[in-house]
Amino acid sequence: MLHDVEITTATTNASVPEPSTGGLFVEALARRDFTAMACCLSPTVRFRALLPRRDVDVAGRDATMAEFRRWFADEAEALEILDATVGQIGRRLYLRWRVRMTPLDPGQGETRVVEQHAFATGGERLESLSLLCSGFQPG
C-alpha cells in the first residue's frame, strides 16, 4: 500500500547538540581520516589494547595512530562501518564499532570483519583509550 508523504520544514529555537569527541573519532574512522582521528586525541594519550595476538601499551598520539593505521589504512581494501555505538558509563566514554574490510580485488583475499570496544577518558581530547579487539574474522 502506498502512502502520500508530505515533507515540511520545521524551525525551532532548540540548539542541536555538537557531536561528542567519541562520535567524531568514529566518524573519522569511517572516512579513514586519520588526521581527524588524531585531532580527537591528546598529544599524550595513553593507548592500551588487548588484541588476539598481542597487547598494545603506548603513549602519545603518533604511536596510537600508528596502530589504527596498521589495522585500517590498507587502501587495497574497502572499509565499511557496519555498526557503531557511542555512549557514556559514569565518567568514561564508551565506543564500539564493527568494521568490514573487503578487498577491492576479489583475488587478493577474503572479506574480514572486526569489532572493537573501547573506554576512554578526557573531554575535548581523549586522554586515555583502552580497547578490546575481536581480531579480524572471516566475514
* CA-CA-CA-CA dihedral for 68, 81, 23, 60, to nearest 10: 0
pTM for this one?
Answer: 0.85
Cell 573487503 locates to 102
- Helix H or strand E encompassing 34: helix 34-39
Per-residue pLDDT of the chain (139 residues; tens, 9 = 90+): 444 444 334 444 444 345 689 999 999 999 999 999 999 999 999 999 999 999 999 999 999 999 999 999 999 999 999 999 999 999 999 999 999 999 999 889 999 999 999 999 998 999 999 999 999 999 8
30 neighbors 81 (Cβ within 8 angstroms): yes
Whole-number Å distance between alpha carbons of 98 and 64: 19
Query: Alpha carbon of 35 to those of 50, 68, 79, 125: distances in Å?
Result: 24, 11, 17, 13
Query: Alpha carbon of 60 to those of 24, 37, 117, 118, 126: distances in Å?
Result: 19, 13, 20, 17, 11
